[in-house]
Amino acid sequence: MSNDRSDASVRASGPSEQSEPSEQSEPSQSSALAALPALFAEESRVRAFAAVALGAGDAARVARVAGLSAKETAGALRRLREQGVVASGGDGELVVAHDRFRELARAGRPAPEAARDAAVAGEDGPAGIVVRTFVRDGRLVRLPARWTRKKVVLRHIAEQTFAPGVEYPERTVDEKLRAWCEDGEVDHVTLRRYLVDLGHLRRSEGIYTRPADSGRAGTA
């Protein structure tokens, strides 16, 4: 498979190659996320935002749809723009900045439990290097093409996501695996199938359980 572009670098590189600059600094994202409740605590801003979401593309239409004065509209739109939740589209019309909400949602979502980095768990051997190469910031970037490395990554995900002996409905399993797959090359259905095939999850009538001895499955 061609998606294993980093396999050669697994042997030669360590964690130093894994860091990537984020689009915004973490404090900035956190501050913006914390400011959202206050932003929408003012009724005029809520009404102005709703008007934009409904298609009001300029201040005059926002005022008319929201039932606000020109002064209230100007103040509300100014604050909405400052927080980046309303912007001007390619045609100059006001639009909801959906990408901004996605950024803030990612900033506010905790990484899958204990999956911040294999190094935190003290995995400094070959398995730890493999995990750090394909799992970054609690997200699965992609699965290795080499089957031995693929099993290492899948075992790590199973151990960090599911407690042995606990029963998980399929919906819960999918929610947990989607968190790993966001912005990656693997979808949660494929990931779930691999975990079942390797014995990390057992499925019965829509209920999934991680066996207590699943840690031995998928060893390199």
Question: For 142-158, b where at least 16 C-beta lie within 10 A, e where not — what string?
Answer: bbbeeeebbbbbbbbbb
- The predicted pLDDT at position 43 comes to 93
Separation between Cα atoms, residue 94 and residue 177, nearest integer Å = 36
Regarding pTM above 0.85, the answer is no
The CATH topology of domain 26-108 is Arc Repressor Mutant, subunit A (1.10.10)
Report residue 21's pLDDT band, with 50, 70 and 90 as the boundaries.
Answer: very low
Residue 212 scores a pLDDT above 70: yes
**Across 80-107, average pLDDT:** 84
Rg (CA), the chain: 23
Separation between Cα atoms, residue 86 and residue 215, nearest integer Å = 48
Share the mean pLDDT of the chain: 77
Domain coordinates in residue numbering, the chain: 26-108, 112-216
- The predicted pLDDT at position 18 comes to 39
Give which of 115, 99, 122, 131 is closest to 179, Cα–Cα.
Answer: 115
Report residue 28's pLDDT band, with 50, 70 and 90 as the boundaries.
Answer: low
Give which of 151, 164, 134, 159 is closest to 194, Cα–Cα.
Answer: 151
Residue 5 scores a pLDDT above 90: no
Least confidently predicted of 35-39, 40-44, 182-186: 35-39
Contact 3, 142 (CB under 8 A): yes
Residue with more model confidence, 214 or 31: 31
- The predicted pLDDT at position 59 comes to 94
Residue with more model confidence, 12 or 99: 99
